[in-house]
Amino acid sequence: MANTQRAVFLDRDGVLNQEVGYIHALEDLNLIPGVAEAVRRLNQANLFCCLVTNQSGPARSYYGIDHVDALHQRLTHLLAVEAGARLDAIYCCPYLSPSAGGVNPEFTRWSTWRKPNTGMLVAAAWDHHLDLQQSFMVGDKATDVDMARNAGCRGILVQTGYGDRVLSGDYQHHAQPDYIARDLADAVGWILADESL
C-alpha cells in the first residue's frame, strides 16, 4: 500500500478510561490520569490514533448501540477538554457469539472484528492507509496483545485495567507483549523513543 502511515491503536477500558465493568451511566466513564496528555503527544508526533474496542454490551442486551456511541462521544470530549487531544478514528465490535453470552439477535454472531481477531485493525488500515507492521497496539488484556501479534503490530500491555492480572496469570492467559508499560504515558514514551519514527 503506497503512502501508508504508522498508527497507535488504543483499547478503551483500562487504557484510556477507568475500568469499571459495563458502563451503564455516561458519567461513569472517566479518563485515567495522564491519558489525555499522552494521546496529545501521539497527535503531536503525527501518529494516527485509533480506538479499537470490544464492546459486547449491546450483544448482551445491557444497553443499545446508541449508548456505546454516546460513551465514545464523552470519551472524545474529555480528551479534547483535558489536553486538546483527539482520536483519529474509532472502531468498535459490539458482536458476541451465542456461546460467549450473546443474546440480542441483532448483535449475536461470530465476528472477525472481535479481538483477538484482526478485523478492526485490517479495516482501519484499509480505510486510512495504515502500515500495520510499523504500528503499535496498546491494551490491558492478553487479547489485545494477541491481536497485535496476529496483525503484525507491536503489542504493548499496560498495567492499568486488567494488565497486572494478565501478567500474574489471574486473567485470560499469559501474554508476550513487546513492552510492558505502567500506563499509557509510559507506553507513549516507549513508542516515541522508537528510532524509526
What pLDDT digit, counting tens, does each position of 122-131 carry?
A: 999 999 999 9
Binding-site residues for substrate, please? 11-13, 19-22, 53-56, 114-115, 141
Does residue 82 belong to any structural domain of this protein?
Answer: yes
Does residue 46 belong to any structural domain of this protein?
Answer: yes
Q: What is the C-alpha separation between 197 and 195, in angstroms, rounded?
A: 6
Residue 106 is part of which domain span? 8-121+133-192
Catalytic hit among 11, 146, 183, 186: 11
List the CATH number of the domain containing 75.
Answer: 3.40.50.1000
Stretch 136-162: mean pLDDT: 96
Does residue 157 belong to any structural domain of this protein?
Answer: yes
Binding-site residues for Zn(2+), please? 93
The count of structural domains within the chain is: 1
How much is the pLDDT for 126? 98
Burial of 170 (0-12, 13-18, 19+ CB in 10 A): exposed
Does residue 107 belong to any structural domain of this protein?
Answer: yes
Catalytic, 170? Answer no
Does residue 127 belong to any structural domain of this protein?
Answer: no
Catalytic, 13? Answer yes
